[in-house]
Chains A and B, each alone.
Chain A
Amino acid sequence: MNLDLIVFLVLLVLGYVFGQIAEKRHFKSIIEREKALRDVLCFNERHIPDLGPADTTLVAGSVVVSIDYFKRFVAGLRNLVGGRMNAYESLLERARREATLRMKEEARARGATSVWNVRLETASIYKGARQDVGSVEVVAYGTARIPR
């Protein structure tokens, strides 16, 4: 057996084990925090209805999440046959939910009860060695309404 194959298999197993653990843990924490922040309402409506005197301020949250080696390999295989790429779907979902949560956390810290005109922006700072999607960056931002 040549060394390259051994390294590849080791990386695959490491990626699978740690990636699964990390993803499960992340989703668990996302769900918990979403419950805790449920009373901070999010809207992508542009006009704030008149609900009494309030201050507004810009709030934002950002996150960079990376995919693991195993999932990237599976996604590469999927690329051959086409179809849904579950590996990337869960990556994007994690990133978007996490960024929204961080935005809500900032809103809560400033005493806001709702966030309006929420926008999500994705980008790519880091690209994998073969220029494939290695990680995704999401910025969520909106206007927080702070009742006076």
Chain B
Amino acid sequence: MIVTNIEVIPGKTVIKHLGIVNGNTVRAKHAGRDIMASFKNIFGGELKGYTELLQESREEALQRMIEQAQAIGANAVVNVRFSTSSIAAGAAELFAYGTAVVVE
């Protein structure tokens, strides 16, 4: 599975277009992490717990998108975009979407 955020894959040609695939996830850290983060809000600096959270959500969203692409018989996803939103304090929503294609 080739995943890229440009429209074409160098050296390969798209032979079939299968439409948009997407994956999303909403994750939260346990309350302990939230408390630690509010302490960090006094001193400033990186919130490692939330960085981890963001990274995990990104991987999860990508994974779901890839699974969906595989299910419809694609071997590549091009033009991938990430989008984030916050629906609740302490929770992260990450949304990954792209175009599933068959390349040769």
Chain A residues packing against B (C-beta within 8 Å) = 11, 14-15, 18-19, 22-23, 26, 46-48, 50, 53-54, 56-58, 60, 62-69, 71-72, 98, 116-117, 119, 121-129, 134-135, 137, 139, 141-143, 145
Contact = CB atoms under 8 A, between A and B. Distances in A.
Contacts of B11: 53-54
B90 A125 contact: yes
Interface of B: 2-11, 34, 37-38, 40-47, 50-51, 53-55, 58, 62, 80-86, 89-92, 94
Contacts of B54: 62-64, 125, 137, 139
Contacts of A141: 5, 80, 82
Nearest to A25: B45
Tell me the dominant secondary structure on chain B's binding face: mixed
A58 B4 contact: yes
20 contacts: A22-B45, A23-B44, A50-B10, A53-B11, A56-B4, A58-B4, A62-B54, A64-B47, A64-B54, A65-B44, A66-B41, A119-B82, A123-B92, A125-B86, A125-B91, A126-B89, A135-B37, A142-B5, A143-B4, A143-B6
A112 to B, nearest CB: 12
A68 B42 contact: yes
Contacts of A53: 11
A119 B41 contact: no
B82 A139 contact: yes
A67 B83 contact: no
B44 A66 contact: yes
B30 to A, nearest CB: 14
Contact of A121 (B2, B37, B62, B83): B83
A111 B95 CA distance: 27
Contacts of A66: 37, 40-41, 44-47
